[in-house]
Amino acid sequence: MAADTIFSRIVRREIPADIVYQDDLVTAFRDIEPAAPTHVLVVPNHIIASARDVTDADEPVLGRMFAVAARIAREQGIAETGYRLIVNCGEDGCQEVYHLHMHLIGGRPLGPMLAAPRGSSAH
């Protein structure tokens, strides 16, 4: 069995979070350190550690994550103005929590997609 994560404890409602949506496959809750007026994390209810661990069997839950993100964006009033969906993977992707999650970020212009770390080069 996969190790427990802070997000699986939120899914089970063992620790507090501002949950905006939950069903049999996914849970969505507000990020504790929002990067924009809307910053929601959409997670599978079962642990998939990272995007690199996704298998064919995960296709239903991955589809649900996108559908729920679109639904929340509409509910939050950001569907028309637009938003960004981000999935960080592994060390170079700056993944902090090893429970797959999609960031839904919007409510202000978000600027260019990548901010390079100081002193780094894209090449």
Catalytic residue among 99, 101, 103, 123: 101
- The only residue of 11, 20, 29, 78 in contact with ligand 5GP, by rule CB under 6 A: 29
Please report whether residue 70 would count as binding ligand 5GP according to CB under 6 A.
no
Encoded tokens for 71: 């639904």
Q: Which stretch binds ligand 5GP (CB under 6 A): 24-32, 47-55, 56-64, 110-118?
A: 24-32
Active site residue 39: no
Please report whether residue 95 would count as binding ligand 5GP according to CB under 6 A.
yes
- Residues 106 and 108: their CA atoms lie apart, in Å, by 6
Token pair 């690199």 is found at 52
Encoded tokens for 74: 């509409």
Distances (CA, A) of 36 to 31, 84, 98, 99, 103: 10, 11, 22, 22, 11
- Residues 112 and 104: their CA atoms lie apart, in Å, by 16
Between 54 and 97, CB nearer to ligand 5GP: 97
Interface residue list for ligand 5GP (CB under 6 A)? 6, 17, 29-33, 41, 88, 94-97
